[in-house]
Structure 1
Amino acid sequence: MKYLNQKMENESKKENKMNYKDKAIRCVKDTILPMQRKQFEECGYCLDKQYKRYGNTEWLFAKIIEKGRIYEIGYPKCVCPDVISGKVTDVSHCECSRQSILYIIGNLLPDKNISVEIIETVLGGAEKCRFKVTVE
């Protein structure tokens, strides 16, 4: 029985990730992605240059941890409309932000393997949302 419960829980987590992925794509594909793509092109298709130039705004920060490979990306405050409106309060919803970052950078660097980890989020009790991005 324990095995079955664990399996059901794992399937539920996978399903939630897929739902957040779809939601994240809908949220950013026609708004943030085109803006990020334009910046990326202006910066010679280089994330390091893009983050140096555009990585410190009221909506986004991006730090280069290891050139060309590891970045910290985040938001000085939560930018999700569902959270801001009060409709969502569960920390699991931050998976949506992780998925949106993964989607955007994956589109900018389609030939690279991208991973995104949640470091901390506002819904999780932090002052800001921070994500570690690794490009391989």
Structure 2
Amino acid sequence: MELSDWFKGFEDGVSRLSPEQREVFFSACGEHCVKSGTLQVYRELHARAGGDLDVFFLQANELPGVKAEIVEKDSLYHLYFMECTCGLFRRGYVSTPLLCECSRQSILYVLHSLWKDRRFRVTICGSILRGSPCCKMRIEAGMSGQKAV
């Protein structure tokens, strides 16, 4: 059995999960993926920004393959990835757009790790695996005392 055959079963299994089950599954996946190096990049960016969300997203523009926009100061941002960096996709093992939940969960993990006093909602607006030229995430930030955004 080829590894690519195994991943066909993986894709099929993921497609059978409810959206809530996929969130749980991919939250663990995204956390492990981001801990392999990307989290440190964002920690350094957070430190340079002095914890300021607006400065953080402005500086994210300096990262290769990343573009960020401040839509509303201290509350709404767009984060773009110009290419899919998922190793499973890049190696040709997985091509389902359901895999993008892993990216969404990794962004949530990063944000909650850096701003423990904030609540975040991340929405996938478009992704390469869904046919868009880049991945676009909408990030809403609220205070921990507010209802989850």
TM-score normalised by length of structure 1: 0.87
Measured on the aligned residues, the alpha-carbon RMSD in Å equals: 1.8
- 1:57 is displaced (CA, Å) by 3.4
Bigger mean CA deviation after superposition, 54-63 or 14-23: 54-63
Q: Which residue does the alignment assign to 2:134?
A: 128
Following the alignment from structure 2 to structure 1, what is the Cα–Cα distance between the partners of residues 127 and 137? Answer: 9
Per mean C-alpha deviation after superposition, the further-off stretch among 71-80 and 27-36 is 27-36
What aligned pairs does 1:35-114 form with structure 2 within 5 A after superposition? 35-114=41-120
Asked if the contact 1:78–1:84 (Cα under 8 Å) also holds between the matched residues in 2, the reply is: yes
Report the Cα distance in structure 2 between the residues aligned to 1:122 and 1:11, rounded to whole angstroms.
Answer: 22
Write out per-residue CA displacement over residues 51-94 of structure 1, whole angstroms, 9 at most, x where no aligned residue: 22232433221111111110001201111111111111111110
In the superposition, the TM-score normalised over structure 2's length comes to 0.79
Q: How many residues align?
A: 128
- After superposing on structure 2, the runs of 4+ consecutive aligned residues of structure 1 that deviate more than 4 Å are none
One-letter amino acid of the counterpart of residue 59, structure 1: G
Residues 10 and 80 of structure 1: is their aligned pair in 2 closer, same or farther, counting only changes over 3 Å?
closer
Question: Partner of 2:130: helix, strand, or coil?
Answer: coil
Task: Say whether the 8 Å CA contact 1:69–1:134 is kept in structure 2.
Answer: yes
Identity %: 27
* Unaligned runs of at least 5 residues, structure 2: 1-14, 143-149
Please say if residues 56 and 62 of structure 1, whose CA atoms lie closer than 8 Å, have aligned partners that are also in contact. no
CA deviation profile, 1:4-39 (whole Å, cap 9, x unmatched): xxxxx9963322221111000000024111221111
Q: Which amino acid aligns with 2:84?
A: C
